[in-house]
């Protein structure tokens, strides 16, 4: 009976396998039911030739049925012990090589210096503004004196001496007022007649206060040229012969006055100016004799000085 059963099984399976190879999707439901009712003991020991084709079809997904599962093929594979291998996922496309990102470090921008406000000015600018706008200047002057005789005086020769004092200046324009306080010494050489000529020096010390009108050109930012003109007053402080003080006679006018005229230049130096001046003082009288118009002496002065501004407006 075993050979008979085997033959019957083969006879029943051959048509099923043939239809599965031709059209697995159109297999009738009756064949499936017959296949499921077969006894496991009647399975042939030799795989039929169509098994490889069926296995290969079962291992690969069917393109005719689309996404629907083949139930008959699954039953056949289950009956013959065919295990489907999982289809490996398709390899992921090789990604393009990523170019290395080159990070260039840029130097940090330097912080910009804050712009100076209009109120902020440098030291030279402040000095120039103060120099230009100052309404008051102060300084010093010093130099030499030399009496110039308009007529020859017998027994007397002029000699060089000194002068120095304080200078003030009010005003900043072309015209300004310049008072001064100076200490001046006027020296003469006296020749005594008689047996054996003896030379001595006669000196007169005075406090001289000129009140001058200054007429200037140029600006205080550079060099200036000026003319000083005005009156002066003098006080006879003392007299001396060869350095020995002499008492001033009571009949001598201790207060004198006159006129002064000078020309000079102001040379820019630092915050102020160096002054160079040549001046002459002409005596017009004293407190005893009154006005004198025939004086034969002019006191010449040559001085250097320095004036600088104080304050501004």
d(CA 64, CA 262): 130
Residue 2 has pLDDT above 80, yes or no: no
Statement to judge: residues 45 and 143 lie in one domain: no
Q: What are phi and psi of 159, to 5 degrees?
A: -140, 155
pLDDT band (50, 70, 90) for residue 62: very low
Provide Rg for the chain, Cα atoms.
Answer: 67
- Are 68 and 158 contained in the same domain? no
* pLDDT of 215 higher than 50: yes
Give which of 305, 286, 132 is closest to 206, Cα–Cα: 286
Residue 228 lies in a domain: yes
Do 36 and 144 have their domain in common? no
Amino acid 121: pLDDT: 52
Quick one: which of 208, 227, 207 has its CA closest to 217? 227
- Residues whose CB is less than 8 angstroms from the CB of residue 232 and which lie 6 or more positions away in sequence, other chains included: 208, 209, 210, 211, 257, 258, 259, 260, 281
Q: Are 285 and 156 in the same domain?
A: yes
Same-domain check for residues 156 and 220: yes
Give this prediction's pTM: 0.58
Asked whether the predicted pLDDT for residue 69 surpasses 50, the reply is yes
User: Which residues partner with 233 through β-bridges?
Assistant: 209, 257
The three-state secondary structure class of 265 is strand
Q: How do strand 156-159 and strand 272-286 relate by DSSP bridges?
A: unpaired
pLDDT at 237 over 80: yes
Closest CA to 176 of 139, 140, 211, 222: 211
- The Cα 189–Cα 243 span in angstroms is 12
Residues 169 and 287 in one domain: yes
220 and 153, same structural domain?
A: yes
CATH of the domain at 295: 2.40.160.20
pLDDT at 66 over 50: no
User: Which SS3 state, helix, strand or coil, does residue 117 take?
Assistant: coil
Residues 185 and 249 in one domain: yes
- Is residue 126 a part of any domain in this protein? no
Inform me whether the pLDDT recorded for 3 exceeds 70: no
The number of distinct structural domains making up the chain is 2
Both tokens of residue 217? 């050109």
* Last residue of one domain, picked from the residues 80, 96, 116: 80
Task: Determine the 3-state secondary structure of 301 from DSSP.
Answer: strand
pLDDT at 40 over 60: no
C-alpha 263/C-alpha 72 separation (Å) is 137
- Note whether residue 188 is domain-resident: yes
Mean pLDDT of 124-151: 82
Q: How many CB atoms lie within 10 A of CB 312?
A: 14
- My answer on whether 152 and 300 are in the same domain is yes
Task: For residue 119, give the 3-state DSSP assignment.
Answer: coil
pLDDT at position 141, please?
Answer: 98
Is residue 223 in a domain?
yes
User: Which of these ranges, 82-86, 163-167, 202-206, has the smallest mean pLDDT?
Assistant: 82-86
Question: Looking at residues 130-148, what average pLDDT do you find?
Answer: 88
- Give the tens place of pLDDT for each residue, 153-189: 888 899 999 999 999 999 988 999 999 999 999 999 9
pLDDT of residue 249: 79
Mean pLDDT of the 97-108 span: 56
Give the domain-ending residue among 80, 107, 128. 80
Residue 64's alpha-carbon distances to 84, 211, 251, 265, in angstroms, are 19, 131, 157, 121
User: What average pLDDT does this structure show over 91-102?
Assistant: 55
Question: Average pLDDT over the chain, rounded to whole?
Answer: 76
Q: How many CA atoms lie within 13 A of 61 on its CB side?
A: 9
| Pick from 227, 204, 207: nearest CA to 275 | 227
For residue 90, being part of any structural domain is answered with: no
pLDDT greater than 60 at residue 55 = no
Residue 10, pLDDT > 80, answer: no
pLDDT for the residue 36: 41
Question: What confidence score (pLDDT) does residue 93 get?
Answer: 56
Find the mean pLDDT for residues 224-240. Answer: 96
Better-scored residue on pLDDT, 75 or 132 = 75
The answer to whether residue 44 scores a pLDDT higher than 50 is no
Give mean pLDDT, residues 11-39: 49
* Consecutive H or E run containing 150: none
The model's confidence at residue 39, banded by pLDDT at 50, 70 and 90, is very low
- The pLDDT value recorded for residue 77 is 77
DSSP code, position 24: G
What pLDDT is stored for residue 260 in this prediction? 98
Residues 42 and 151 in one domain: no
Q: What is the pLDDT of residue 46?
A: 43
Residue 127 CA to residue 123 CA, distance in Å, equals: 6
Q: Are strands 136-149 and 224-241 parallel, antiparallel or unpaired?
A: unpaired
Q: Are 60 and 24 in contact (CB under 8 A)?
A: no
Instruction: Name the pLDDT band for 100 (thresholds 50, 70, 90).
Output: low
**Range(s) of the domain holding residue 44:** 2-80
The enclosing H or E element of 259 equals: strand 255-269
């Amino acid at each position: 009976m075993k050979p008979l059963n085997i033959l019957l099984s083969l006879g029943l399976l051959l048509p099923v396998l043939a239809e599965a190879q031709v059209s697995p999707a159109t297999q009738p439901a009756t064949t499936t039911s017959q296949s499921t009712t077969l006894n496991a003991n009647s399975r042939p020991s030799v795989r039929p030739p169509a098994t490889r084709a069926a296995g290969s079809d079962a291992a690969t997904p069917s393109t005719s049925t689309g996404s629907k599962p083949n139930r008959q093929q699954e039953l056949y594979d289950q009956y013959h012990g065919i295990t489907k291998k999982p289809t490996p996922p398709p390899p992921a496309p090789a990604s393009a090589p990523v170019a290395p990102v080159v990070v260039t470090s840029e130097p940090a921008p330097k912080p910009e210096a804050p712009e100076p406000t209009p109120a902020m000015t440098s030291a030279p600018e402040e000095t120039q503004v103060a120099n230009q706008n100052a309404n008051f200047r102060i300084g010093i002057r010093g130099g030499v004196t030399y009496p110039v005789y308009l007529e020859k005086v017998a027994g007397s020769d002029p000699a060089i001496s000194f002068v120095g004092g304080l200078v003030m200046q009010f005003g900043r324009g072309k015209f300004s007022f310049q008072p001064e306080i100076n200490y001046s010494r006027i020296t003469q050489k006296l020749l005594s007649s008689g047996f054996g000529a003896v030379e001595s020096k006669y000196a007169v010390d005075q406090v001289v206060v000129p009140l001058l009108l200054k007429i200037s050109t140029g600006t205080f930012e550079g060099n200036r040229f000026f003319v000083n003109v005005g009156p002066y007053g003098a006080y006879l402080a003392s007299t001396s012969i060869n350095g020995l003080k002499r008492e001033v006679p009571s009949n001598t006018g201790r207060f004198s006055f006159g006129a002064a005229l000078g020309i000079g230049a102001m040379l820019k130096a630092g915050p102020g100016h160096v002054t160079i001046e040549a001046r002459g003082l002409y005596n017009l009288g004293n407190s005893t004799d009154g006005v004198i118009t025939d004086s034969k002496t002019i006191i010449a002065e040559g001085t250097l000085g320095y004036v600088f501004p104080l304050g501004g407006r």
